[in-house]
Chain A
Amino acid sequence: MDFVWESTVFAIVAFLILYWLLNKYAFGPLFSIMEQRRKLIQEQMSTAETSRKAAETSMEEQKAALEQARKEAYAIIEQARTTSTKQADEIVQSAKNEANRLKDDALKDIVSEKNKAIAALRSEVGGISVKIASKIIEKQVDEKAQEELVDQYLKEVGSK
């Protein structure tokens, strides 16, 4: 086995040519493709991250909107409840007032009727007593007593 230096030179030349050819026709394109893929993946990852964040935000927004709607509904119910309570109170109050008024009116009516009745009775009693008195007087009054009575009436009239 001899050492043939020409083979060494040829090996060096062949290796350098192979290196150049591979670099130009195989590895260069391959590396650029791998680089492209790396970029693509990075891009997709960042896109995924953004969309995840967007989804999170919209989720948050929806939650907030839901909460808001719930609060509003609650407020509306609450308001309706207070309104109805107030209205019921008002109705009860007005009914009470009306009843009081009616009662008062009735009382007043009663009082005035009573007064009227008393007055009527008094005048009736007066008339009757006068009639009774005059009947009694027709029989028992003498001259002298009649005079005294007349005087007394005159006096009364005079003092009025």
Chain B
Amino acid sequence: MHEFPIVELGGFNIDISTWGAIIISAIITFLLAVLSVRKLSVENPSRMQNFLEWVVEFVHNTIASTMPLEKVKRYISLGMTLIMFIFISNLLGLPFGIVFDVHEEIGWLGVTAEKLAEHGGHMHVALWKSPTADLAVTAGLAITVIFLVHFLGLKENTKHYIKHYIEPFPIFLPLNIIKEISKPVTLALRLYANIFAGEVLISTILMLGVYGVPFLAAWQGFSIFVGAIQAFLFTILTMVYISQSTIHHDEDAVH
């Protein structure tokens, strides 16, 4: 398999391919959004504006399916950022890859003599991938979201948020804690595993050479689908978690 270049800089390990992929994804996302809103018009929206408005409508409906309508507005930006960034990240690794065959020590790519020796004198260094194919990145996204979920829960729904850990009985506390821990873990792992598996399969198909072209085409098409599904899933799950922690359904009235 490919190695990803890791550079040591002032005591930190910097994964150049991941950092680059994050930056490129973010820039594409930002440019796409900014180009869409370049000539905003109330009565005569451009094609790009129509597209972005469609995304807004889509995200709005998605969020509205998880929480009351009047609370949706404040989370649209978050949902939009999540779905656009993750979708573009998922697609980033699909079209091509940049792989070096390295035989010598290259300091700035993090190819040290020890690593070379480990791989028997030469190694493949990949520079291009989906940022979401890195567990560290999906973990970052999941941590951000889960932090937001618990923060909003504590801030806006304090009593019921704390109470829900010991519901229906105090003995359920460990189970509830496991549930809360599993949320970010599943979020991060699901996204990472789907995208990483897609890229692994792509590099595997590439080994087939010319005969792999139809498989590659089919799998890349499917990967686009998977990327869209995963972006959507991440977004809607985020909203579901936020909804669970912040919105108190008046159960006392029901009982």
A binds B: yes
Give Cα A8–Cα B43 distance, bound, in whole angstroms: 43
For residue A1, give the distance in angstroms from its CB to the closest CB of chain B. 7
Give Cα A40–Cα B41 distance, bound, in whole angstroms: 12
Interface residues as binary, A108-150 with B (CB distance below 8 Å gives 1, 0 otherwise): 0000000000000000000000000000000000000000000
Closest to B133 in A: A1
Quick check: is B208 within 8 A (CB to CB) of the other chain? no
Contacts of A23 on B, CB cut-off 8 Å? Answer: 77, 81
State whether A4 touches B81 (Cβ < 8 A). no
Quick check: is B137 within 8 A (CB to CB) of the other chain? yes
Give Cα A10–Cα B196 distance, bound, in whole angstroms: 19
Contacts of B143 on A, CB cut-off 8 Å? Answer: 8, 12
State whether B53 touches A34 (Cβ < 8 A). yes
Residue from B12, B53, B137 whose CB has the most chain A CB atoms within 10 Å? B137
Quick check: is B131 within 8 A (CB to CB) of the other chain? yes
For residue B208, give the distance in angstroms from its CB to the closest CB of chain A. 23
For residue B156, give the distance in angstroms from its CB to the closest CB of chain A. 19
Return the contact of B18 from the options A7, A18, A31 (Cβ within 8 A).
A7
Interface range on chain A (Cβ under 8 Å from partner): 20 to 34
State whether B36 touches A18 (Cβ < 8 A). no
Interface residues as binary, B58-81 with A (CB distance below 8 Å gives 1, 0 otherwise): 000000000000000000111011
State whether A6 touches B34 (Cβ < 8 A). no
For residue A142, give the distance in angstroms from its CB to the closest CB of chain B. 152
State whether A7 touches B42 (Cβ < 8 A). no
B contact residues, total (Cβ < 8 Å): 42
List A residues 1-15 near B (Cβ within 8 Å): 1-12, 14-15
State whether A6 touches B14 (Cβ < 8 A). yes
State whether B14 touches A19 (Cβ < 8 A). no
State whether A12 touches B33 (Cβ < 8 A). no
State whether B12 touches A8 (Cβ < 8 A). no
State whether A31 touches B76 (Cβ < 8 A). yes
Interface residues as binary, A22-57 with B (CB distance below 8 Å gives 1, 0 otherwise): 110111011101101100100000000000000000
Contacts of B134 on A, CB cut-off 8 Å? Answer: 4, 7
Return the contact of A16 from the options B84, B139, B144 (Cβ within 8 A).
B144
Quick check: is B52 within 8 A (CB to CB) of the other chain? yes
Q: List 13 A-B contacts (CB under 8 A).
A: A3-B139, A6-B15, A8-B136, A8-B139, A10-B22, A11-B141, A14-B22, A14-B23, A15-B81, A18-B30, A23-B81, A27-B56, A30-B40
